[in-house]
Amino acid sequence: MRGTSVLLVFALSLAAVLTGCGGTQSRTVTSFTSTPVPTPAGGTSASVQPASVKIIPDGANLGAGETQRFTAAMSDGTAATFSWSLINCVDNCGTITADGLYTAPSFVSKNINFRIAATSQSNSSIMGTTYLNLMPVSVTIWPAAVVRLAANQGRPFTAVVSYDPVNQGVTWSVSGAGCSGSTCGTLTNATATSVTYEAPSNAPAPATVTLKATSVTDPNQSGTAALVVMGSASQYRLQGAYAFLIQGWRASEIAGDYEGGGEMAIAGHIDIDANGNVSGIWDATVKASGGAMEPIAGNYTAESDGIGTITLRASSGTWTFMVAGTSGGDSAALWQSPSNHPPLSTIAIQSGYMLRQNTNAFSMASVQGDRVLALTFMNIAALGRLTCGTEGNVGNGQMDFTWGGSVMRFFTTGTMTGMFTLPDPLTGRGTVALTVTPGPDSSPETFHFAYYIVSNAKMLLVQSDANTWLIPVLRGEARRQNDAGTFTNASWNIPVIYNLNSDDAGSWWSPFATIGVIRPDGTGSLAEVSDNTEVVEDVGIVVTMRSTDSGTYSVSPNGRVALSLPGIPLNLYRPHVGVAYLTGVNEGYLIREQIFGTPFGYFEPQTVAPFGGYGLAGTYTASVAGPPRTFKPEQEIGLVNLATDGSATIFLSVDRGGGLFQLMDWAGTYTTSDDGRGVMNLTDRADGEQKTVVFWAVSANRLLALVSMEDADPRLVELVR
């Protein structure tokens, strides 16, 4: 995206946000500057930079009773004295002295946000402000991910208490929906900061237990950890060859990089031996200069519950991730360890996943044939297909891009050519160059990727080109496409359950997730029923329940599907359009146009079953669904129980990024309808808030749920029994 047309689109989009165009909410920006200097008599007009006030430090987070000294200075270096004040303060916000010493109140019961102002005493129109957040006592338990324990197994836990003015620590307790007292387990070696949990001899039903650490200073503040009492978990240990994909965010400007940071991605191959030794290679795109292949080494350890750490060392430094293996060790989820110190402090690596590799597939025979490519980057999604010939040449290629900007959004469709190199027989790594004509900026664009073979059916890709704000770091998957060249409208002829997510696939302002059913008739018409959860800036979480739509579709022989849903126009009075690529009959990837973001996801056939009544009753293992998001397959994060009496419980621990987790311990009732849609009406056991969770049945044993979390992006959660 090096062309000026993309720059123009970006500029128009940004301007539209600032002016409130296109139906988006306008944002008022207030600046305080000095009075312009008049033109001297007999002189010429000159551009004079208006003076402003800079406050140091630029914002602060403080707990009860803490202090912070603020200083102010004029941007033009002129001497000035200032008056200090608190603005936008609607609660007990503390005090600030005449010389800028701020003191927080002695007790903070909730998060309070306001601003500190420094005003020139000689000119009250010249003012500068900075933010201040008052933080209540905060309690976090580590480990925070769902911990699985065998009967009678023990596990130590630690509580970290922040913003506690008297540092009194916590008290510990344990409870569960299917147990009480010692049947939930016992707590030993309890201190103000640690405890050992001992699982009971018999697992409760449901087998979920909550460990709680309550602040002594403020009993209204607590932290929780999710426990599941079950059989031996040694089956979760990882060993063998794995391909992995990690993505994250450059949090601030890096030397030689563009201001404001941007996304990054790493793909690679590792071997883990029986002693936990790790060796391999990766392609790391963490700088603006593009991707670099490096050898890596490290070590892996895991507890009996499958949660552990993996440390990867490269020439650029050492990174440590938390890792959660799945049953049989065929896959694992990765997320940044809170103790991790990246080689570049400005890089914040978020999360990713590992998949066991079939080393017998490390040959050109596994690369050849028809593939569907599903790639994302922030507010861009790329979906297409190609045929790889015997020599690695790319033919029959086609790629669709969608860019979700502030007001401008568009599809571009181009032909795709290129070349795959032979994969390494030891790592499964190869490279591919793909040229799309026209590219996203209406001119030919060449993208270079490193790929890693998982199996004959799947490979992982990461772009290696130098990147800027306008040049993406595309990453994702390439899946085998069956029946290529023979697809017709009849290839999409039964109900499919689909999911869309605009998080990592990218919304700038309003992350959202959607699940639902599409019912194509096999001749070009379709109907849709969906549920949507969206986080809208300055508004909060907005839920749209059971919306319906109808439209048309057209399937090309190569599997490309053009979609039109002429419901309410999302922007510029255009219909809601989308593109899908079939990986086989009735399944594939999907992207849509949206005023903000690029909805991206997957759809698959819905199995006919008696979904109504309590036909879906049972206990389900919950995992973060993918793709898109971080493409984390089968990250086991908890349990959901749907009982035959209509009662429901949810016990989930969801990764909010950077190793931070949110526990959901909710209980209530549920109903289902014959089309496979269900609704859980729940209450949060911790604070009594009402929660609604919508799910759709893919089959009698597999559900896709839409979960909303306070102050976090919505999650698509897969439930399997």
Measured CA to CA, the distance from residue 478 to residue 474 in angstroms comes to 12
Look at residue 367 and give its three-state secondary structure. Answer: helix
Look at residue 260 and give its three-state secondary structure. Answer: coil
CA dihedral over 130, 264, 440, 256, signed as positive or negative: positive
Measured CA to CA, the distance from residue 720 to residue 717 in angstroms comes to 10
Cα–Cα–Cα angle for 561, 408, 380, rounded to 5 degrees: 55
Cβ-Cβ contacts under 8 Å for 654 (sequence gap 6 or more): 624, 637, 661, 662, 664, 707, 709, 712, 715, 717
Look at residue 351 and give its three-state secondary structure. Answer: strand
In DSSP terms, which residues pair with 294 in a beta bridge? 282
Assess whether the previous peptide bond of 143 is cis (omega < 30° from 0): yes
Q: Of 490, 489, 487, 484, which is closest to residue 396 (Cα–Cα)?
A: 484
pTM equals: 0.73
Look at residue 274 and give its three-state secondary structure. Answer: coil
Look at residue 18 and give its three-state secondary structure. Answer: helix
Cα–Cα–Cα angle for 405, 474, 428, rounded to 5 degrees: 165
Residue the block writes with tokens 């309003």: 510
Question: Which residue ranges of the chain lie beneath pLDDT 70?
Answer: 1-49, 144-145, 230-236, 249-263, 287-288, 303-306, 326-327, 336-350, 378-379, 403-410, 467-472, 503-511, 534-543, 566-576, 594-597, 624-637, 654-661, 709-713
Strands 347-356, 112-120: pairing is: unpaired
Phi, psi at residue 139, to the nearest 5°?
A: -120, 125
Are the C-beta atoms of residues 394 and 387 closer than 8 Å to each other? Answer: yes
Please count the other Cβ atoms lying within 10 Å of the Cβ belonging to residue 614. Answer: 15
In DSSP terms, which residues pair with 312 in a beta bridge? 298, 319
Local structure of residue 152 (DSSP, 8 states) = T
Measured CA to CA, the distance from residue 182 to residue 172 in angstroms comes to 14
AA identity, residue 704: L
AA identity, residue 116: I
**pLDDT score recorded for residue 114:** 94
Helix (H) or strand (E) holding 112: strand 112-120
Please count the other Cβ atoms lying within 10 Å of the Cβ belonging to residue 423. Answer: 23
Measured CA to CA, the distance from residue 629 to residue 220 in angstroms comes to 33
Cα–Cα–Cα angle for 361, 453, 478, rounded to 5 degrees: 120
**pLDDT score recorded for residue 524:** 96
Cα–Cα–Cα angle for 398, 599, 479, rounded to 5 degrees: 45
Q: Of 131, 111, 124, which is closest to residue 70 (Cα–Cα)?
A: 131
Q: What are 575's two structure tokens?
A: 């219909």
Q: What are 314's two structure tokens?
A: 């490269």
Q: Of 119, 100, 97, which is closest to residue 33 (Cα–Cα)?
A: 119
- Length, in residues, of the chain: 721
Local structure of residue 40 (DSSP, 8 states) = P
Look at residue 316 and give its three-state secondary structure. Answer: coil
CA dihedral over 150, 151, 156, 158, signed as positive or negative: positive
AA identity, residue 674: D
Are the C-beta atoms of residues 436 and 445 closer than 8 Å to each other? Answer: yes
Measured CA to CA, the distance from residue 100 to residue 92 in angstroms comes to 18
Question: Which alpha helices (DSSP H) does 264-380 contain, by range?
Answer: 364-367
Q: What are 696's two structure tokens?
A: 């759709």
Cα–Cα–Cα angle for 422, 426, 427, rounded to 5 degrees: 75
Measured CA to CA, the distance from residue 679 to residue 677 in angstroms comes to 7
Using CA atoms, how far residue 559 sits from 306, 510, 593, in Å, is 40, 31, 19
Q: What are 672's two structure tokens?
A: 């289902």
Measured CA to CA, the distance from residue 50 to residue 32 in angstroms comes to 9
How many helices, marked H, and strands, marked E, lie in the chain? 2, 49
Helix (H) or strand (E) holding 592: strand 587-592
Helix (H) or strand (E) holding 9: helix 4-19
Q: Is 23 left (phi over 0), alpha (psi -120 to 50) or beta?
A: left
**pLDDT score recorded for residue 470:** 54
AA identity, residue 472: P
Local structure of residue 21 (DSSP, 8 states) = G
Cβ-Cβ contacts under 8 Å for 226 (sequence gap 6 or more): 145, 146, 147, 208, 210, 638, 651, 652, 653, 663, 665
Measured CA to CA, the distance from residue 453 to residue 469 in angstroms comes to 29
Across 624-660, b (16+ Cβ under 10 Å) vs e yields bbbbbbbbbbbbbbbbbbbeeeeebbbbbbbbbbbbe
